[in-house]
Structure 1
């Protein structure tokens, strides 16, 4: 049991490192990238969603940083719970939910046909999260339906959390 717990803890640390590096790339480059690509109408031309434009129209470095901070704190709390409880299925759900987030960056890059902040570290962290997922599934003998249900729940919570964060930071100066 101790060996499994130590392994899980190492996997969690690897994931936190990959997540952190990816988020730093986004924090450093996304607000300026949005300003530039809103001004040159690239986003208006390629993305027709009014909801998307409403969400990004108020974004700045501070607001984006607050959203990332909230996600990071929430993730750390959940990963502490996973470490203590050895809840491998929840960790797999988080890894796969994160991997879907990474796939979105790749799709955005393909649609816009230009660099999207977070793309470079998406490739690296996507590989890391996929490898960790495979290792944990293999070692834990998890059932596919449980993985699908957990991942669906985790991804839904990620989306709801992001929407709430965007609403909450909307009036931050």
Structure 2
């Protein structure tokens, strides 16, 4: 009986810690890991996908083909590398400086990554076929969402303060996507000559 009660207590503590305990510091390094896991699918499949689907993309989504058809895998990899550097920088600064506003920027960037996965799933539902990004988006979206929910439980500041810095982090991610795409185009042109 005592052993059973002890096991139940440990199970209850573990579940409480899983759903309510911890801090953002526990999850900080999952951001760059999840990001790279996802982006490897994009790097590996991007050019092949464009080659295999050129005709259909030209008919249904010509703006996508115009934008990406000339990009190289190397240019794409450089863009991902630049994004990874930002991801690691945000995570490192938040981890070592350990200030609430930096954690909220990190959480906002992580949320931006989560929204990026969601956008890929919308793209798949519109295109109705595999695109290089959908498998890892499907895997990472629930994991990211759970981590975000757990991190939100750690917040002790006002919603306005938290929301402002989270918005800053998410905006940083989305602005950087455009910078990375410009870098991808520049590098592709530079290496083509």
Q: TM-score range by the shorter chain?
A: 0.7 to 0.9
Q: Which has more radius of gyration?
A: 2
The question of whether the paired residues in 1 share the 8 Å contact of 2:124 and 2:131 is answered with yes
Among 9, 27, 49, the alignment partner of 1:11 is: 27
In structure 1, the partner of 2:174 is 159
Q: How much does 1:148 deviate?
A: 4.0
In structure 2, the partner of 1:130 is 145
> 1:88/1:151 Cα in 2 relative to 1: closer, same or farther (>3 Å)?
closer
Instruction: List runs of 5+ in structure 2 lacking aligned partners.
Output: 1-21
Q: How many residues align structurally?
A: 164
- Indicate the RMSD between aligned Cα atoms, in angstroms: 2.1
Q: How much does 1:142 deviate?
A: 4.7
Deviates further, 76-85 or 52-61 = 52-61
In structure 2, the partner of 1:27 is 43
Query: Helix, strand or coil for the counterpart of 2:29?
Result: helix
In structure 2, the partner of 1:117 is 132
Among 12, 31, 47, the alignment partner of 2:61 is: 47
Question: TM-score normalised to the size of structure 2?
Answer: 0.75
In structure 2, the partner of 1:3 is none
Among 79, 82, 87, the alignment partner of 1:70 is: 82
Q: How much does 1:164 deviate?
A: 2.3
Among 84, 94, 100, the alignment partner of 2:115 is: 100
> 1:168/1:22 Cα in 2 relative to 1: closer, same or farther (>3 Å)?
closer
Q: How much does 1:33 deviate?
A: 0.7
Matched, 1:172 2:184: no
Query: Helix, strand or coil for the counterpart of 1:140?
Result: coil
In structure 2, distance between residues paired with 1:142 and 1:119: 35
Instruction: List runs of 5+ in structure 1 lacking aligned partners.
Output: 1-5
> 1:146/1:56 Cα in 2 relative to 1: closer, same or farther (>3 Å)?
farther
The question of whether the paired residues in 1 share the 8 Å contact of 2:94 and 2:106 is answered with yes
Question: TM-score normalised to the size of structure 1?
Answer: 0.83
Q: How much does 1:151 deviate?
A: 3.9
